[in-house]
Amino acid sequence: MPIFNAIGTATTGVTVYRKWLDAVSDNIANMNNVSRTGDQVFRARYVQAREAADGNGAEVAGIQYGNPDGLLTYDPTNPLADPEGYVRRPDVDLGAQMAQLMMAQRAYQANLSVVDRARDSYTAAINLGK
């Protein structure tokens, strides 16, 4: 019965968008981390989604990582700076991350609304028989 799949399908969306929100919040939280030029820098995470294998909803296909080299920034006053005054910062654009955060949040809320509406519909259908 396809009508009863609404909660399951919307729940897969909630899961995908929650992972997207987690990735974006990690990216924003770590965007100001500084590393020595020879050390690894924080790599932004980007969630890749696809249709679920069973055709009902979505699933996380994988995580793509950002630039491993980060951005070389001149900051001679930083204690981690190399002799030339450079440090590495993550290649994270706050504007792009905020846009992704808003999209993921709206989609997460929309999927939760579908779950609520479907639950209300199922409850009303059950109460018709009383």
Q: Look up the pTM and report it.
A: 0.84
How many structural domains compose the chain? 1
Query: Range of 73's domain?
Result: 2-119
Average per-residue pLDDT for the chain: 91
Start-to-end C-alpha separation, the chain: 22
Say if 124 falls within a structural domain. no
Say if 85 falls within a structural domain. yes
Give pLDDT tens digits for 33-56: 999 998 999 999 999 999 998 888
Say if 127 falls within a structural domain. no
Local confidence band at 82 (pLDDT 50, 70, 90 cut-offs): very high
Place of tokens 């001679």: 76
3-state secondary structure the chain: CHHHHHHHHHHHHHHHHHHHHHHHHHHHHHCCCCECCCCCCCCCEEEEEEECCCCCCEEEEEEEECCCCCEEEECCCCCCCCCCCEEEECCCCHHHHHHHHHHHHHHHHHHHHHHHHHHHHHHHHHHHCC
Say if 8 falls within a structural domain. yes
Local confidence band at 1 (pLDDT 50, 70, 90 cut-offs): very low
The confidence score (pLDDT) of residue 125 equals 79
Say if 129 falls within a structural domain. no
Say if 126 falls within a structural domain. no
Q: Give Cβ neighbours of residue 102 (< 8 Å, ≥ 6 apart).
A: none
